[in-house]
Amino acid sequence: MRYFLPSKRLGFLLLALLLCGFALNFFMQAASLNMDAMSVFSWIGEYYWLYLAGGLFFFFLLLVFSMILPSVYAGSAVAAVLCILLGIVDYKKLSTTGEPLFPWDLMLLKNAGEMSHITKGMIPPLALAAAVLLIAAVVWLLFKLPKIKVSLPLRMLFAVLSVAMITGFVSMVAHQSSLAVSMKYQNIFWNQKVNYKQNGLLFAFAGNLRQSLIEEPEGYSRRAIEEIAAKYSKLPDPVPNVQATQQPNILFMMDEAFFDPTRLPGLSFSEDPLKFIHGEESATPSGFLLSPEFGGNTANIEFEALTGMSMYFLKDGSIPYQQKIVKMSSLPSIVSILKERGYRALALHPYDETFYNRNRVYPILGFDAFTSEKDLDNAERITPEGYISDKAAVQEALRELKASSDPAFLHLVTMQNHFPFTKGHNGPNTISVEGTSPSYKDELETYTQNTKLTDEALAYLQQELLTLDRPTIAVFWGDHLPALSAGIYTDAGWDSEPRLKHETKLVMLANFDIGKEPLNTLSPAFLGPTVFRLSGQPMPPYYKLLGKVQDEMPGLSKQVLIGSNGVLTAFTPEQQQLLDDYRMVEYDLLEGENYSQDLLF
């Protein structure tokens, strides 16, 4: 029995861990409330049971680490540092993209080396220095604190008890048990910003561990999908812009963090950074892409573009590549549609192939080959520290198109314009930007220089398309607006203009006549049907459904809804029926029985 009796020192340690648990919970909630301590106190006053339960969770987390590592101090310190890091990541993610930290974001830990390069510059040097000093102080303190010996039986008892409590907590929250509800916990999965703000980072994070992408629609069944398939199968193909005499190559070029900086009001530029795009857009189909994301989550834009499914129906914060598709064996997409027609399907991303699990997701979507950074040793970078340039990526895409004897679909995801926007990152800035705060001038000029390089790469692409023997259509768009300093968008008055913060440039190029109709504003999900129509491809029933939705609601986003005549504030019964059909099919493909694969594709 004496092995289980705690000493006085151990008693003080347990009390210290309990206090640290509540302090950690306070910090984690502050991370979700813009580090505003008064807002945290206000939250605690309303949701005190959530705060108390969260404090106990962190106590048991600190305790289990203390018991499983040889030094009780080192164990609790490691756990505390990990929690603090998660809180900081949540705060930084919220401040740059407007979204909190989700469980599936942790899958990017396998890319920790690349993430450190991508996020370079996001943490001020002074903050890094302070962190180093703090860690040094903690290490010094660990050596100075009196030693505490805990017997093995007592360690095992505390460890088992802690694991049981942590597991019970996660189960209670994930299943939204009556106990959790009595604490005023509500899983607000449809609005994750409110979810984290109301429930706190811990409860919201735990509640997302078992999150599905989309709720089952009322009336879902095989018969419902058959009725939808019959309805849209009967529709005629839209009249094509051209009568294709040969199957054309199709190139998707999704450009990282690209938008038109000249749209920002109040700024003047010493020269037009987008000379080619601005000169070409009236002579070819062009417009804007309504991105479902801002500042990040590139995989969600390509998810829409490749599958034709919409993020509009998915739960807030979803990343289908990481949550669902990686676990599937196949998923219908523009890739699989074209492969059935004899196309070779190629993917190209001049960066780490494992980001967003692309190396595992692309084969599921039907790609035959995937070229990534590891295959491009000699590709050009503007500077040694920069990413592979857009022009180098275009050159590789053209090489692969020319090497294919079959018609090819090539999906290119660029990297050149990714954060950080540090002066000199992509060579010297050649365009001066006036009308902005001095603190933003270098950042804006650096980003503008990036867009100029992309514009030049696009001009090169158009020139080289004319040398290809096979008809080829290229679809270029920016995936999302860049994560520039928030003040830049505030000064522009865009904080209250969600449409402007989600519209990127969209341009189509070809070496054959595709007309010059304006595309206005489109969601990525409608790129497939649009390029099929412009290139004279027959439509599967699924694309006919998308075409009908596009006619009524070309911009479908949680941030703003764009109808054929401008912003939508309400749906007509006909529009609602289209959305219900669309949602039903999307649920069937992602979470249901996949009846649609045989009926609509």
List, for residues 445-498, the tens digit of each pLDDT value. Answer: 999 999 999 999 999 999 999 999 999 999 999 999 999 998 999 999 999 899
Predicted local confidence at residue 182, as pLDDT: 87
In angstroms, rounded to a whole number, what is the distance separating the alpha carbons of residues 333 and 337?
A: 6
Q: Across all residues in the chain, what is the average pLDDT?
A: 88
Higher local confidence (pLDDT), 7 or 558: 558
> 7 φ, ψ to 5°?
-80, 170
Q: Which pLDDT tens digit goes with each residue over 284-336? A: 999 999 999 998 889 999 999 999 999 999 988 888 998 889 889 999 999 99
pTM value is 0.79
Predicted local confidence at residue 248, as pLDDT: 95
Predicted local confidence at residue 127, as pLDDT: 56
Mean pLDDT, to the nearest integer, of 66-91? 83
Residue 500's pLDDT band, with cuts at 50, 70 and 90, is: very high
Residue 1's pLDDT band, with cuts at 50, 70 and 90, is: very low
In angstroms, rounded to a whole number, what is the distance separating the alpha carbons of residues 117 and 113?
A: 7
Q: Which amino acid, residue 220? A: Y
Q: CA 29, 35, 40, 43 torsion: positive or negative?
A: negative
In angstroms, rounded to a whole number, what is the distance separating the alpha carbons of residues 368 and 372?
A: 13
Residue 191's pLDDT band, with cuts at 50, 70 and 90, is: low
Of 110-114, 183-187, 263-267, highest mean pLDDT: 263-267
Q: CA 296, 301, 303, 309 torsion: positive or negative?
A: positive
DSSP state of 340: T
Q: Exposed, middle or buried: residue 184 (CB in 10 Å: 0-12, 13-18, 19+)?
A: middle
Of all residues in the chain, the percent with pLDDT exceeding 90 is 55
Predicted local confidence at residue 205, as pLDDT: 85
Mean pLDDT, to the nearest integer, of 568-593? 95
Please list, in sequence order, all residues whose beta carbon lies within 8 angstroms of the beta carbon of residue 227, skipping any fewer than 6 positions away: none
Mean pLDDT, to the nearest integer, of 551-564? 94
Q: CA 537, 542, 331, 412 torsion: positive or negative?
A: positive
Locate all alpha helices (DSSP H) within 218-269, ordered by sequence.
222-233
Residue 556's pLDDT band, with cuts at 50, 70 and 90, is: very high
Contact present, 352 and 416 (Cβ < 8 Å) = no
Residue 66's pLDDT band, with cuts at 50, 70 and 90, is: confident
Please list, in sequence order, all residues whose beta carbon lies within 8 angstroms of the beta carbon of residue 265, skipping any fewer than 6 positions away: 492, 493
Higher local confidence (pLDDT), 454 or 155: 454
- Cis peptide, bond prior to residue 420, ω within 30 of zero: yes
In angstroms, rounded to a whole number, what is the distance separating the alpha carbons of residues 326 and 364?
A: 8
